[in-house]
Homo-oligomer: A and B are copies of this chain.
C-alpha cells in the first residue's frame, strides 16, 4: 500500500512532464489511412521508449506496411510475460470544420487535452511508458517480463499484422497474457474492462454499367448503377435486420457468467443518447439494460460511405457509370468473415443485375472472447478496481473490434482490454483525454504490473 501511494505521488509530481510528452506525441500526426507522419511517429515513440529503458526496435513486415514498435523488459527471476498491445496510428480527422482546434495542436482547455489520438491511442500507450519510468524512478525492479507491441495500422484494419506476427512468432511466443490498452471509460466516466471484441468485415461494393455515363433521358430504358447498389443494400439489410441467409445462425450464446456481467452494467438509453450528442436510438422500445446487451451482443451492419457522380456541385441529368459503397459488418462470436463474404456474393449474384458488381474485402477480423473466470481477468479487474476506487464494469466483449484474433491464432492466451479516456469519443472530432484520465492510465498500468507479480 505504501508503494501505491509513492507511485501516486510521483505521478502527481511529474504529471506536467508527462503531459508534455503526450502533447508532443499528439502534435505528431500519424494517420494510417494516408500515411501522414506515420514513420516519424514510430521513430519518436521508439526513442522515447529507449530513453526510459525499454529495449525497443522497429519491426517491418517483409510485405511492406508501417512498422511495429516492439519493446521488451526482461526480469531474470520471473517467467511471467505480459504482452501490451497499443497502436501509434490515429484515425482520419474527418471534416476539419468539425474541429474547434487544429486536430494536431494538442490544445489544452481546462482539464482536456484535445487532439486526434489524444485518447485513442496515444494517451494510452504512453501511460505504459510513463508507468515504467515511474517504477524505475522509484527504484522498483519491474517484477515481470513485458513485451510492448505498438502497431501503426490499427485504424486501417491491421492489413499487415498477420504477416508480421507470423514472421516474428519467436519474439512474442513467451507471452502468458495480453492487455489491450485503450479508452475504457463509458460516457459517465465509469471504467470498464472487456474480455473480447466483435469481428468486422469491411467490404467495398461497386456496380458498373457497360455503356459508361449515359444521359438521364435514357432512364426509361437502361439500368442505373445507383439503383442497383440501392437494391443490393436493401436486399442485404433494412438497416436493422441483416437478410443474408444463415447470418444469425452460428452466433454463440452468452454464458450465465457473461449475462451476469451484462446485468451489472448500469448504462441505459439516456447515456447513449448523451454520449452520441443527442442521437436517438433507432428502436422505440429499447430501454435500460437491454441497450448495452443489444450494443454488445448483436451483430450489425453499417454503410460508412456511398459515392457516385457529384452531388455538390450538382452534376444532374446523368446516369452515372458506376456506384460504390463501403459496407461494414460487425460480427459476434462464432460468426466467420469468410462465411459472411460468401453469403454476400451469393446474394449479389442472385440479383441478376444488368450492371456488373465487384465485392472487394478491405479488412476483416474475427470476434474473440476470453473466459470471464480466467485468473488473468481477475487480476486485471483487481488492478482496475484499485485504481479507480470502485467496482469497474466487465463487458463480455466490446462493441468495437481489435486485431486480437491475429494474436489468438498464434498465441492461445487470455486477452483483456482496459485503459483510460472516454471510449465513445474515439474517431469523433474534438477527441480528448482529460489530465486526470491520463494520470489514472499511468496508475492503472503500474497496478496491473504489480498485480501480475503476485
- List chain A positions with a Cβ less than 8 A from chain B: 33-34, 91-92, 94-95, 98, 155-157, 198, 200, 202, 204, 209-224, 226-231, 233-234, 237-239, 272, 276-283, 286, 291, 294-295, 298-320, 323-326, 328, 330, 354, 362-363, 398-401, 424, 426-429
Contact = CB atoms under 8 A, between A and B. Distances in A.
A302 B221 contact: no
Given A316-B157, A316-B328, A427-B317, A211 B305 contact: no
B308 A305 contact: yes
A302 B319 contact: yes
A313 B214 contact: no
Given A98-B213, A213-B429, A215-B424, A221 B307 contact: no
Given A215-B424, A224-B302, A304-B316, 8 more contacts: A33-B314, A155-B317, A210-B280, A212-B279, A217-B398, A219-B328, A221-B272, A230-B239
A221 B291 contact: yes
Contacts of A305: 226, 308-311, 314-316, 318, 320
B311 A306 contact: yes
A326 to B, nearest CB: 6
Contact of A217 (B234, B314, B324, B401): B401
A244 to B, nearest CB: 15
Most buried by B among A92, A230, A301, A401: A230
A289 B211 CA distance: 22
30 contacts: A33-B314, A34-B313, A91-B317, A92-B315, A98-B212, A156-B316, A202-B314, A211-B276, A211-B279, A213-B427, A214-B428, A216-B330, A217-B330, A218-B295, A220-B294, A220-B298, A220-B300, A223-B280, A230-B230, A230-B239, A282-B354, A302-B317, A304-B317, A304-B318, A304-B319, A307-B307, A307-B309, A307-B312, A309-B326, A311-B325
B227 A238 contact: yes
A230 B303 CA distance: 10
Nearest to A305: B309
Contact of A317 (B222, B233, B328): B328
Contacts of A95: 213
A366 to B, nearest CB: 16
A308 B307 CA distance: 7
Most buried by B among A155, A210, A305, A363: A305
A217 B400 contact: yes
A443 to B, nearest CB: 27
A227 B330 CA distance: 16
A292 to B, nearest CB: 10
A314 to B, nearest CB: 6
B295 A221 contact: yes
A359 to B, nearest CB: 14
A223 B282 contact: yes
A313 B33 contact: yes
A155 B313 CA distance: 13
Contacts of A286: 221
A212 B428 contact: yes
